[in-house]
Amino acid sequence: MFIGKLVFAQVMDFLPLHTFRRCVARYPSPRSTKTFSPLDQYLSMAFAQLTFRESLRDIEVCLRAHDTKLYHLGIRGNVARSNLAYANEHRDWRIYRDFAQVLIATARKLYVHDEFGVDLDNTVYALDTTTIDLSLSVFPWAHFRSTKAAVKMHTQMDLRGNIPSFIHVSDGKMHEVNVLDLIEPEAGSFTIMDRGFLDFARLYRLTLAGAFFVIRPKSNTMFRRVYSRTVDKSTGLRCDQTVRLTGVTSPDDYPQYLRYVVFYDKETDKRLVFFTNNFELPALTIAQLYKCRWQVELFFKWIKQHLRIKAFFGTTPNAVKTQIWIAISVYVLIAIIKKRLAVKASLYTILQILSLTLFEKTPMDQLFNDTALQSLDPVDSNQLNLFGY
């Protein structure tokens, strides 16, 4: 019989705690942390994510029910609703942002050689924004509309492993195109975007940096054809052209040629059009790249369904950002464990197993690699497509 660590402690063993302490030291707290340290806060919030807790009271009751085991979970402080609420509202959220970024860097290295559906050596990102609706009376700082509040999570996701490489949390009024000013272009990479990010001055910055993009144009975008290439219409392609912008300001914003690709999707009976600054890849590959953008949509859907970022434990900007970044770090941590233990089960299955076994002492490799578990599929096929690699 295995008499080792609890499953929760085994999961947290994958955390680089020395790096966590450096992140904490970077943002000193004005109040003593002896009774409830940043690590106590992180572990309590991670427990809430893994077991789908709905409130601070819920967290407190569940953890105190296992009071004799808290020391073995790594929680040394007093788990009380007041302590957790104060920590979420006042302890600097950037601690957990920086720590999540460390985990993201680790995960991206582990998944760097994974396939994502297109035979391409370049790094490919999908960039999109999701809106998390809030109550205006409870979150008055999160301005969105006159009668509505929201926060936006702007995410750039590395399609190799579906790991978020960049996340920015803002109030609801920040337009998604502005996030392009916050992202450092990576030479040789591809960024796949929807038409909401169409800003030719910002796109030209990507071109000058040696980065590529694939984006949907708006219906009123004006351009003229310069050159046409032949296409095989049996593949769904309808045209592959070199064009020059002809709008009022767009020729100044983007003075170089663009490539215009039209693709007909039989499955959805839709005609899709794209702009790209890459003239080397086959036109069909450009269309396939854009199709991969839906991975970030599925990521938003999955994380809203299976992590706690729709019901918040605090109402201040600091509490909201703390919860979002800890949720992201837990997601990435599970992705790291999946790769390091060579677990074949999907992330959905892993999370469901963990939610019921955190206080058991089963070895993790035995927990996730049981033969019977390999045939378990998520209920939603989209979840399987995204996380069943």
Residue 308: predicted pLDDT: 62
Mean per-residue pLDDT, 236-257: 94
Tokens of 124: 């490919």
- Determine the CATH number of domain 115-298: 3.90.350.10
Q: How confident is the model at residue 309 (pLDDT cuts 50, 70, 90)?
A: low
How much is the pLDDT for 370?
Answer: 61
User: φ, ψ for residue 292 (rounded to 5)?
Assistant: -70, -15
Residue range(s) in the chain whose domain bears CATH number 3.90.350.10: 115-298
Residue 3 pLDDT grade (very low, low, confident, very high; cuts 50, 70, 90)? low
Strands (E), the chain: 124-134, 143-145, 148-158, 163-171, 190-193, 212-215, 223-229, 237-245, 258-265, 270-276
Residues with Cβ within 8 Å of 145's Cβ and at least 6 positions away in sequence, in order, are: 172
Q: Are strands 258-265 and 270-276 parallel, antiparallel or unpaired?
A: antiparallel
pLDDT per residue over 69-78, tens digit each?
888 888 888 8
Q: Rounded CA gap, 53 and 374, in Å?
A: 27
CA pair distance 387, 331, nearest whole angstrom: 11
- Global pTM value: 0.84
Q: Average pLDDT for residues 311-337, to the nearest whole number?
A: 90
Name the one residue in this structure whose structure tokens are 């096929």: 381
Tens of pLDDT, residue by residue over 196-217, are: 999 999 999 999 999 999 999 9
Whether 384 has a pLDDT exceeding 50, the answer reads: no
What is the pLDDT at residue 116? 81
- 85-89, 278-282, 378-382: range with lowest mean pLDDT: 378-382
How far apart (Å, rounded) are the C-alpha atoms in residues 41 and 36? 7
Q: Is the pLDDT of residue 381 over 60?
A: no
Beta strands in 182-321 (DSSP E): 190-193, 212-215, 223-229, 237-245, 258-265, 270-276
